[in-house]
Structure 1
């Protein structure tokens, strides 16, 4: 996870913890839906060269630890994952259509992960002139 990556313009190490839930927090991520959801997430992340460090589902939410290019943006990656998984899962599992108007809520949680605390980074930035 501490691997430094790069594209044509940016050298980065951006790891994100993302959590999102089905609409009304319904416990629908079980059995075959769970298996297929993880496949879809892996496909989208592979297409976007966003390595998955960890993925786990509960019946009513998803946890994803992923590396994402800052120029592509974590918001775009999450939008693509949620959009494709909603469309495919609702087509493949009709019971999801009858129970939910949409598969996912509009919102999600995202946090960056890193080895240094905010206090350490702040101290580093503030003391650049003294180096």
Structure 2
């Protein structure tokens, strides 16, 4: 009897509601460990993770039996509760609705891991908005700007 063999890699990107800087740098490693535990409990493997103050990049290897949307929902729900219980912020913590998910081949894994682990350096040159729009364009993902993340610039929301 034949078996199923797969090799699936996806980068998931999601932002803090209102793009507020609510992920404290001193707690990001704890948040990384918490997210990793959730992903592993669902049978997937974290290849790289980096939580910036206003968004998160998560790169995983997974099986086709795992529903990506369900995993993202679980990660976002559980981490929202986790951050609130830890009282890391003065205002309620929420993730924005939606996320980006981008697939890669095995030959790209090392480059994607380096990219995610170097987020601090990367964002000295490019904003999250620029980064996210670039990912959408690079992967030829059709989008409508009115349905992208809420962007707060200079104290005002914009799309």
Matches within 5 A, 1:31-70: 31-70=25-64
Structure 2, unpaired ranges of 5+: 108-159
Report the alpha carbon displacement of residue 12 of structure 1 after superposing the two structures with TM.
Answer: 1.3
Task: Identify if the C-alpha distance between structure 1 residues 86 and 10 changes in structure 2 by more than 3 Å, giving closer, same or farther.
Answer: farther
Q: Which has the larger radius of gyration?
A: 1
In terms of mean alpha carbon deviation, does 14-23 or 43-52 score higher?
Answer: 43-52
> Where does structure 1 differ by over 3 angstroms across 4 or more consecutive aligned residues?
none
2:9 is the alignment partner of 1:15: yes
Task: Identify if the C-alpha distance between structure 1 residues 94 and 58 changes in structure 2 by more than 3 Å, giving closer, same or farther.
Answer: closer
Q: Note if contact 2:7-2:106 (Cα within 8 Å) is conserved in structure 1.
A: no
2:120 is the alignment partner of 1:91: no
Q: Note if contact 2:24-2:88 (Cα within 8 Å) is conserved in structure 1.
A: no
Structure 1, unpaired ranges of 5+: 1-8, 117-131
Given the two structures, how large is their TM-score scaled by the length of structure 2? 0.60
SS of structure 1 residue aligned to 2:63 = coil
Distance 1:32 1:89 in 2: 13
C-alpha root-mean-square deviation of aligned residues, in Å? 2.1
> Which residue of 101, 105, 115 corresponds with 1:110?
101
Question: 1:62-91, CA deviations, whole angstroms, 9 ceiling, x for partnerless residues?
Answer: 011101222221111111111111111111
Task: Identify if the C-alpha distance between structure 1 residues 33 and 54 changes in structure 2 by more than 3 Å, giving closer, same or farther.
Answer: same
Distance 1:71 1:77 in 2: 11
| Paired residues, number | 106
Report the alpha carbon displacement of residue 115 of structure 1 after superposing the two structures with TM.
Answer: 5.1
Distance 1:47 1:104 in 2: 21
